[in-house]
Amino acid sequence: MTKSEYPPIADHGLIGDLQTSALVGLDGTIGWFCSPRFDSPSIFASLLDAKKGGHFQLTCAAEGAVVKQLYFVDTAILITRYLTADGVGEVIDFMPINDPEESSDIHRIVRIARVVRGSVTFKMECAPKFDYGREDHDLVLQDHHALFETPDLEVSLHTQKMLDHSEGKQLRNGVARQEFTLHEGEVSGCILSTGPIGTTAGALSVPQVVDLLEKTIRYWRDWISKSTYRGRWRSTISRSAITLKLLTYAPTGALVAAPTAALPEQIGGERNWDYRYTWVRDGSFSVGALMELGYSDEAAAFLKWLMLRVLDGLSGKGRKDGPLQLMYRIDGSSDLVEWDLPNLEGYEHSSPVRIGNGAADQLQLDIYGEAVEAIYQIVTHGRSIYYDVWDAMVKTLDWLAKNWDRPDEGIWETRGGQKDFVYSRLMCWVAFDRMIRISREKGLPGPIEKWRKERDKIYIQIMERGYNKEIGAFVQHYDSDVLDASILKMPLVGFISARDPRWLSTLDAMADEIVSDSLVFRYNPEASPDGLAGDEGTFSLCTFWYVDALAKAGRLAEARMIFEQMLTYSNHLGLYSEEIGYTGEQLGNFPQAFTHLALISAAVTLDRALDSEPVAYESLIGLENSTRPAQRRRVTD
């Protein structure tokens, strides 16, 4: 198998219906699609195995066509345009949205082919591989219809043009194909439906398809019109907001970390994780970003989902070690057993291909701070907090008061053993601090003096043990000199002044060791072994945190330069995966919610800072700053 069989991760757009989604490549291939939910087994997974994963392609047949891909403005409707010597054609891809809050087993992908100039020949090939390529299916072919069947699930494909019957009408593990030529002004296409046996929809007329398209356009434009963002980067923020909406499972309000599984953090390596679940951390951070944009209903929906998890934990349904589990399925269930798929070779031979996520059983104490911060964000934006929610959080803080001073696995889910991670302590400080604020501001009952004592203990401990005087920086965990990008959250949550000398020296140390041409690594795996082989790229999330921290520190020219440099690392549609590789390629699961959340937060912070503090811009080449020496080195060098 050659490398060319796997398109770059970045060469994809995302479409969805708020219950599941699909990735559409520049070559017109849907190489990832799970149904009926984000975390269901795949139907198309050629991104993880070009031959065995399954795919659905509708593309231009001409060799050498120039390809452009874009979204209809302020929508999740994708256009892939082909420019050939004979004409210009395009494929419009979208998933209709109908009562998204009502869970459904039936989902549709609409693919419209049309020619706007000259003549273009298209080719279509639909080759599903059910259950991650492990389950056989039967294919029944009719003139304009292909039905792929397994015992429990079917895929129905209706086309306007005649299907190829050269291989017979009934096939085991068959593939449906067609090739057709359209002339200027002509339109064709197909609709793929998935659902239980006997439930998928029949054929639709052209006017019905046009009506679906118009309704979907209206849905997205009505939704984005509710955004209150009026800053400098409106189109970028709108695309990130739509991406976050696409990653939300509307029936429960849960946000998946990414719609994909096992896309590698290092090509050919073993850092291949399943991100189709809801992390308490990611979802809680989404509340702040959504509230900043005016989407209080979406924030409240996630908070309701989160509180149900807390109540489950307090009732004994959750993990034994604390009320909250690190992550859950989008319906709130906690079965995330991790296992490998040996039948799939993995993207560019990156194995193993993992499904489920074993990190769900880890102890990560920071999630309690993020959960309480989410509640605080809701409350400060005018939403009420119900008695049961408050009572549950008071009981959760009782548990945290007894457990915050424990080693844990930390935010990055390392598999190298538990440590006293500074970030975990930091967010425990946030949990107590925000509960005190809510209690005082809303007149809610609680043991404020107890919370204050625990908060202050954590503060003193971090200042005494989390700051390494030899290197002049806060570190990853106690008794170490390892730097960690998660510490960038310190001024962002109000733990330390953004212009405190200790913090400014920490920023300088990070710039020396974990920042590379404005891009930020999580940490150095060689300095802090994480239990996994291989290396990784810079974390886009951390780069946006860095921008946020620089802006709060008053380094506005540097912050804006890095922010706008980072925007150039998105793909052609403004989407980000988890990481950026050494040559600028996108790595890891795609697109990643956490990155887009941090982008929104950094843009809002930077906008406010630029509006309030006129800047005498520094040299954009040297990025000189009076608070930073021209050449820095660690004290231990």
Q: Dihedral of CA 378/379/383/389: which sign?
A: positive
Peptide bond preceding 591 in cis form (omega within 30 of 0): yes
Convert the pLDDT of each residue in 423-475 to its tens digit: 999 999 999 999 999 999 999 999 999 999 999 999 999 999 999 999 999 99
Question: Is it the case that residue 419 has pLDDT exceeding 80?
Answer: yes
Q: Which amino acid is at 102?
A: E
Please check the confidence at residue 26 and state whether its pLDDT lies above 50.
yes
Of 554, 535, 551, 533, residue with least CA distance to 543? 551
> What are the pLDDT digits (tens) for 261-309?
999 999 999 999 999 999 999 999 999 999 999 999 999 999 999 999 9
Intra-chain end-to-end CA distance of the chain, in Å: 47
- SS3 for 461? helix
- Whether the CB-CB separation of 84 and 5 falls below 8 Å is answered with no
Mean pLDDT estimate for the chain: 92
pLDDT tier at 534 (50, 70, 90 boundaries)?
Answer: low
Q: Answer whether residue 415 shows pLDDT above 80.
A: no
Q: Is residue 438 a contact partner of residue 379, using CB atoms and an 8 Å limit? A: yes
Average pLDDT of 49-56?
A: 97
Mean pLDDT of 66-80: 98
Contact assessment for residue 81 and residue 89, using Cβ atoms and an 8 Å cutoff: yes
The yes-or-no verdict on residue 628 having pLDDT over 80 is no
Domain 19-224 and domain 234-612 have a common topology: no
Q: Is the pLDDT of residue 629 over 60?
A: no
Q: What are the tens digits of pLDDT across the range 136-155?
A: 999 999 889 999 999 999 99
pLDDT of residue 3: 46
- State if pTM tops 0.85: yes
Confidence of residue 528 (pLDDT cuts 50, 70, 90): low
Would you say domain 234-612 falls under CATH 1.10.3720.10?
Answer: no
Q: Residues 372, 433: contact at Cβ < 8 Å? A: no
How are beta strands 248-249 and 254-255 bridged, if at all?
antiparallel
* Contact of 69 with 49, CB cutoff 8 Å: no
pLDDT of residue 342: 97
C-alpha distances in Å from residue 397, one per residue of 376, 383, 429, 543: 14, 21, 11, 31
- Dihedral sign from CA coordinates of 389, 395, 397, 403: negative
User: Which residue, among 234, 114, 125, has the nearest Cα to 181 in the 3D structure?
Assistant: 114
Q: How confident is the model over 242-264, as a mean pLDDT? A: 97
Amino acid at site 477? H
Mind listing the pLDDT tens digit for each residue in 190-209? 999 999 998 887 788 888 99
- CATH code for the part of the protein at 19-224: 2.70.98.10
**Residue 195 phi, psi dihedral angles, 5° rounding:** 175, 175
Q: Which of 65-79, 528-542, 614-628 is predicted with the least confidence, judged by mean pLDDT?
A: 614-628
Domain boundaries, the chain: 19-224, 234-612
Helix axes 296-314, 387-403, angle to 10 degrees: 60
Q: What is the pLDDT of residues 568-594, one digit of tens each?
A: 999 999 999 999 999 999 999 999 999
Q: 228 φ, ψ to 5°?
A: -95, 5
pLDDT at 622 over 90: no
How does residue 210 score in pLDDT terms, banded at 50, 70 and 90? Answer: very high
What percent of the chain clears pLDDT 70, i.e. is strictly above it? 93
Contacts of 386 (CB under 8 A, 6+ apart): none
Backbone torsion region of residue 160, taken as left when φ is above 0, otherwise alpha when ψ lies between -120 and 50, otherwise beta: alpha
> Helix 422-442 and helix 366-380: axis angle, to 10°?
30
Q: Tell me, what's the pLDDT at 4?
A: 61
pLDDT higher than threshold 50 for residue 111: yes
pLDDT band of residue 635 (cuts 50, 70, 90) is: very low
Strand stretches in 221-336, DSSP E: 248-249, 254-255, 278-279, 327-328
Across the range 511-533, mean pLDDT stands at: 80
